[in-house]
Amino acid sequence: MKQFAPAFASVFAALLLAAAPIHQAGAADGGQAAKARATKTAKAKPVKTKARKTAARAVAAAAVAKSIDYSGEQVNFAEWQAVRDFADEMVAKHGFERGEMDTLLRQVRFVESAVQLVKPAPPGKPKNWQAYSERFIEPIRINAGVRFWNENAEALARAEATYGVPAEILVGIIGVETVYGRDTGRFRVLDTLTTLAFAYPEAPNQAARAAFFRSELENALLLARHERIDPFTLLGSFAGAVGLPQFMPGNILKYGVDFDGDGHIDLRGSTSDAIGSVANFLVQHGWNPADKGPAVIQVSVAPSRAWEPLLERGLSASLRGEELLGAGVTPDVPLPADRLYGLVDLQNGADPTEYWAASGNFFAITKYNRSYFYAMSVLDLGRAVREARADTVL
């Protein structure tokens, strides 16, 4: 990405130093996320060598040096009344300087491609799990996962010991999200979040989605102030997700972990912070470390279709094993009696649909991305990387 004007960096640095301290992350949920983050951060061990940190920061700097994925339209967001109201709120609520906010907003670009990308996909082919899976469970991603695991074995083992999330799950998520940092996004986060906050396309949920992105714009500015960085150096996806694990700014504030012990939460340049933050997110969203069984067990379903209503239970494990059996669901192996399950269908286009009994840990992964296909890809990629890594050791 091309470098941005040093003059702006110095202007915003003054804003960072003068503004009030960041609000307590997790306050909206009773402070539990903040408490968990503080506890886990206290347990973090500093990286033993400076070489890894230096290399990680070099990677982050190189990412900023790349060109962004769009030209963007130079509009004056500072003249939009809704944007001015937002700036007023940042001043009143968080102590930002109004002049600095105006300077910042005048440099934000309108990103038409972000508007187009958030629109629902047109009706097309039926869902196809096998085709989806082939995009992620393939040699390039698996080999990159083996390298990532080998290079970050200490952090992965420490995260597993601290949070109870297996290393292969963490490797699976980071691999599915960004191919282990290869594809973290090349949009300026402030551009995309401002565009989607104040120009979200017409849709039934337009108001709710615009409010979400407005909140994330607020969080992005708070994050930049807290970490003392120029907010225009935050690069991410067209929707504003950042770093190796593609956290939205609000989730960085709530669930981000300083897992390398350097005093900063850096999901772009620190693989350790990314690993610890993913583990913390999963635990805060229902991952049960005590559940050591498989996250999913394949099942067959009876022709009577008495099981169909069980597919409408949402993203949670709420069914006892005997309820599944009573509805005509037959597992390939016996279901552990001390767990709850959800019935998951993976459609395969014209081919038969696959059915699985999924545990609470499977549904914890869906809180990262609300998709059965996504969660199953995480499981399959993590397992494939673990098996490939074992073969290389042998």
Helices marked H in the chain — which ranges? 6-18, 32-43, 50-65, 81-94, 98-105, 112-117, 129-134, 139-151, 153-163, 167-178, 189-198, 206-227, 249-255, 271-284, 321-326, 360-366, 372-393
- Placement of tokens 């609300």 in the chain: 370
177 is catalytic: yes
Q: How far apart are CA 362 and CA 364, in angstroms?
A: 5
- SS3 of residue 141 by DSSP: helix
Six-digit token string for 119 = 């629109």
- Other C-beta atoms lying within 10 Å of the C-beta of residue 76: 13
- 366 and 334 in contact (C-beta within 8 Å)? no
Six-digit token string for 125 = 């082919």
Which of 100, 160, 168, 177 is an active site residue? 177
- Beta strands across the sheet bearing 296-301: 329-331, 296-301, 351-358, 342-348
Instruction: Give the CB-side neighbour count of residue 27, counting CA atoms within 13 A.
Output: 4
Q: How far apart are CA 346 and CA 190, in angstroms?
A: 36
Active site residue ranges:
177
